[in-house]
């Protein structure tokens, strides 16, 4: 298979290499891997991470490497819900300046606004979003950086962290109305149901916690205005994302609303379309190349789930029919969507089919027999 089909193709690979993820609570990843019977040194080396990279919450590692280590750890430990356990390590305090800003926002809505505006301080490869849908709100996450492994584990980790954040902001009894996960339903959903307090909807086209819009008006207990101002000043000092990252983030956000045009993107970035084209040209790319790049990432993400129909993938990407999508995917990857899916699902099948760990609802972990259940 053409190497581009596994993630090497990119419209701007030289830019992607410097997009990073802040370590935060993942300083505890080696301990978690060890508790689940894995070898932390082997897992980290397999993902290209030096153990010293996880010594401090403020350290940063390449985003794709960070995502991939979750998949490698899940396979090495035989724990299909490794990402869920990893995400549960997070609290607002582990987000640094961003967490402090959210913690001292006056309301939940203001805290989530801060998350969407300043989330790039912590993560340069994935997008936190808040979408209002009538009487409900979706707090979700979408990747825009191509990765070769681990999207499902990363989505589990991010939603687990978001669940913790919402309980800190709203109170420990807070529960989502629905939970959407953009990956196939695992054989055993007990851990997901116990943590989220609802049975998640798997095979979704996006990854989000859905809750009542009235929760946005809830006051954040203990919020301090002076602390908020200090944290906001520090966040602003960090500056906005670089231009290309703004473009990728903006386009991925628009795609969640089924918008894909250059005019939509220019409007979202508060600039004229000609200005957008000129600045992209200065970066050595074009709007079409960026659109292809983001679509390719979303396509691979959806195709990794065998239960998502090709028609639905095409519609999500903004194609009027499946045929032009299939033709374009072959141009991107050198193979057909069906062949790409068969290869990826076959590679993932053994790890999914061989769980050998468990986690109690209270968050403590225990090992089951290493013998694969039949």
| Same domain flag for 231 and 294 | no
Q: Rounded to 5 degrees, what are φ and ψ at 127? A: -115, 120
In a domain, 341, yes or no: yes
DSSP string, 64-113: HHHHHHHHHHHHHHT-TTHHHHHHTT--GGGGTHHHHHHHT-SBHHHHHH
Domain with 298 in it: 243-346
| Same domain flag for 181 and 295 | no
Buried b or exposed e, range 279-292, using 16+ CB within 10 angstroms: bbeeeebebeebbb
> Do the beta carbons of residue 78 and residue 141 sit within 8 Å?
no
End-of-domain residue from the set 183, 210, 239: 239
pLDDT at site 372: 28
| Same domain flag for 182 and 168 | yes
pLDDT at site 359: 43
In a domain, 330, yes or no: yes
Give just the sign of the alpha carbon dihedral 72, 74, 80, 85.
negative
| Same domain flag for 91 and 235 | yes
CB atoms within 10 A of CB 2: 13
Per-residue pLDDT reduced to its tens digit, 43-100: 999 999 998 999 999 999 999 888 999 999 999 999 999 999 999 999 999 999 999 9
Nearest to residue 257, comparing CAs of 347, 138, 148? 138
pTM, 2 dp: 0.85
Per-residue pLDDT reduced to its tens digit, 124-140: 889 999 999 999 999 99
End-of-domain residue from the set 186, 212, 239: 239
CB atoms within 10 A of CB 241: 17
In a domain, 122, yes or no: yes
| Same domain flag for 211 and 141 | yes
**What's the CATH number where 324 sits?**
1.10.10.60
| Same domain flag for 157 and 83 | yes
| Same domain flag for 83 and 223 | yes
Mean pLDDT in order along the chain per 10 residues (374 residues): 38 57 94 96 93 92 90 95 96 96 97 96 92 96 78 94 98 97 91 96 93 97 96 94 92 92 95 96 94 91 87 91 94 91 70 43 34 28
Number of structural domains the chain divides into: 2
| Same domain flag for 322 and 234 | no
For residues 212 and 170, give the distance between their C-alpha atoms in angstroms, rounded to a whole number.
12
The angle formed by the CA atoms of residues 142, 29 and 116, to the nearest 5 degrees, is 30
| Same domain flag for 250 and 314 | yes
In a domain, 41, yes or no: no
End-of-domain residue from the set 183, 218, 239: 239
């Amino acid at each position: 298979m053409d190497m581009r089909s596994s993630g090497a193709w990119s419209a701007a690979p030289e830019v992607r290499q410097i997009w990073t993820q802040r370590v935060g609570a993942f300083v505890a990843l080696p301990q978690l891997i060890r508790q689940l019977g894995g070898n932390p040194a082997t897992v980290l080396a397999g993902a290209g991470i030096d153990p010293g990279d996880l010594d401090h919450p403020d350290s940063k590692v390449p985003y794709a490497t960070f995502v991939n280590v979750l998949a490698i750890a899940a396979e090495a430990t035989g724990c299909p819900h490794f990402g869920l356990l990893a995400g549960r390590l997070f609290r607002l305090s582990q987000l640094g300046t961003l967490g402090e800003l959210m913690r001292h926002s006056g309301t939940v809505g203001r805290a989530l606004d801060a998350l969407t505006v300043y989330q790039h301080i912590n993560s340069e490869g994935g997008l936190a979003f808040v979408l209002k849908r009538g009487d409900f709100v979706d707090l979700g996450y979408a990747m825009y950086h191509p990765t070769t492994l681990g999207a499902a584990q990363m989505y589990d980790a991010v939603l687990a962290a978001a669940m913790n954040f919402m309980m800190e902001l709203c109170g420990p009894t807070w529960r989502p109305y629905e939970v959407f996960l953009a990956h196939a339903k695992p054989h055993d959903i007990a851990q997901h149901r116990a943590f989220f307090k609802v049975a998640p909807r798997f095979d979704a086209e996006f990854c989000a916690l859905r809750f009542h819009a009235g929760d946005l008006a809830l006051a954040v207990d203990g919020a301090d205005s002076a602390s908020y101002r200090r944290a906001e000043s520090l966040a602003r000092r960090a500056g906005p994302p670089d231009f290309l990252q703004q473009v990728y983030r903006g386009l991925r956000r628009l795609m969640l609303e089924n918008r894909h045009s250059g005019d939509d993107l220019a409007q979202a970035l508060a600039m004229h379309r000609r200005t957008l084209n000129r600045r992209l040209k200065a970066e050595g790319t074009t709007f079409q190349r960026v659109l292809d790049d983001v679509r390719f990432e979303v396509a691979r993400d959806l195709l990794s789930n065998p239960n998502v129909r090709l028609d639905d993938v095409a519609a999500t990407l903004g194609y009027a029919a499946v045929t032009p999508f299939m033709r374009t995917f072959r141009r991107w990857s050198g193979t057909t969507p069906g062949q790409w899916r068969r290869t990826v699902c076959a590679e993932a099948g053994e790890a999914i089919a061989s769980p050998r760990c468990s986690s109690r609802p209270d968050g403590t972990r225990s090992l089951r027999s290493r013998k694969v259940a039949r």
